[in-house]
Each structure stands twice: as C-alpha cells, then as structure tokens.
Amino acid sequence: MVPAGYRRHLYRDDAVVLRVQKLGESDRIVTLLTRRHGRLRAVARGVRRTTSRFGARLEPFGHIDLQLAGSPEGVGSSLHSVSQVEALSLYGKSFLADYPRYTAASAICETAERLTPVEREPALRLFQLTLGAFKALAAGEHAGSLVLDAYLLRAMTFAGWAPAVTECAVCGEPGRHAAFAIPAGGAVCPDCRPPGAAHPSPATLGLMNALTIGDWTVADATEPSVRRECSGLVAAHLQWHMERSLRSLPLVDRRELKP
C-alpha cells in the first residue's frame, strides 16, 4: 500500500548498469548499482523504440548519470522510473565483440547483484569496485579472466568472505601454507589441514595474493596453468559462501594467454 499523500519525487545518482529485461512492447526494467543508493530497479519507458533518446545509454556495463522518480527510502513501489539519462562511459562498446572480456563482465554483473540482496542499501565500495572492473576490461591492459578473479577476490573481501592466503585460515599462523580448504576459509597449516584439502602450487596462492592487493606485475606474468588453478579456487570459494552457483561463471572464456 502506498501511504496517503505520498508523491514520487525526483533525485539524481550515477550508476553502473547490471542487467536489462524487456517489459511490454517498448519498455525495459533496468537493474542498477548506484553510488549512493545501492542496488535498485527502474522502469525505462519507451527505450526499445527506435525513436528513444536514451535507449542506447541503458545497456549493461555502462556508467551513467540519471534522474529517477521514486523513493530512495523505499516508500511506495519498489520500481523507480527513469526520467533522464546521461552517458558517462559506455564501457561495453569496447568489448562487446570480445567474448572473453564480455563473459567476464557478465559474471561481474551477476556477482554484484548477488552481493546486494537488499535493494536501496548503500554499497559504495562494491559500486567503486564494479566500476573499476569495467574500466579495466575496457582498457584491455590485463586478461579478462585476471580482471574477473581480482574482482571476485575483492568482492569477497567486501562481503567478509575473503580467502586466507598469507596465513592459516583456522589458527592464523602466518606464512604461505601448502594446503587450501574452502570450508575452512582458505590456506591452512599442516596442524589445521582437514581431510580432502587441495594442494595448489605456490604460484597459484601467489597469484591470488597479487590479485587481491593489485600487484599486476606479478599477475600478468603468471602461466596459463596457474591462472586456471587460481580461477577454480576463487570460483569454488565464492560459490561455497553464496551457497549457490553463478550461472555466468561456466560461460567465462579463460583460454586467453595475454590481453
């Protein structure tokens, strides 16, 4: 029920576009991760018509400035309405024809949406992280799979699920330990190692640490086998804590060797 006397008001924010869905014959529902108001959904009316003034600006992976009609506090309908859109950077144009980077961006969008289960709850760090990942994919300076894994590791830090890499996840003993146990929270020392723990190469744990702290010199120099092993651990760790799989992760093309 909408409270008596409630009127939708206009407000501005900038956002990254995570997802679009068709609504009726000419409208779309756009899922946005905004800078100040967290994740929200908005109806963009008429954007599928060829005469639409801003339909091309409301595509996934774009950074936009927009005016919305609705209540950022959650009064009334959960759906806002888009009244104005200005493109800040439409990053998707840089990699729509590049399948590895496109699938990495799709996985980033799905992760951002899953990590913001409550609409209108501010998530500034995740917004900045997602925007930075799109910028990195558009620049093409690093392999898309590395950008994705760096994003997932840092997003897990935001969520409080970051895997331990430089210390034991159970007892906190510092050092690069040889075993990795996802249920335990990451690398584990010999005393805390549970049955069935994985034994990744030292280079794999080194890559995980480099991606977490942003050491791209180390990350870019890694071998394909190390990247694949790192990606497997990162994906398994993320999906263990989410308690469900990401639909987009199996589609990510990790065959690239160099950006």
pLDDT in tens, 105-164: 999 999 999 999 999 999 999 999 999 999 999 999 999 999 999 999 999 999 999 999
Return all residues near 46 (Cβ < 8 A) that are at least 6 apart.
26, 27, 52, 55
pTM score over 0.95 = no
Whole-number pLDDT of residue 258 = 44
Instruction: Identify the DSSP state of 42.
Output: E
Residues written for the chain: 259
The mean per-residue pLDDT over the stretch 199-210 comes to 96
**What dotted CATH number matches 9-93?**
2.40.50.140
Helix or strand (DSSP H, E) at 86: strand 79-90
- Cα R_g (the chain), whole angstroms: 20
d(Cα 249, Cα 259) in Å, to the nearest integer?
Answer: 19
**Mean pLDDT in the chain?**
89
Tokens of 190: 């010999």
Give residue limits of the domains in the chain.
Answer: 9-93, 142-251
Check the CA dihedral 70-73-78-82 and report its sign.
Answer: positive
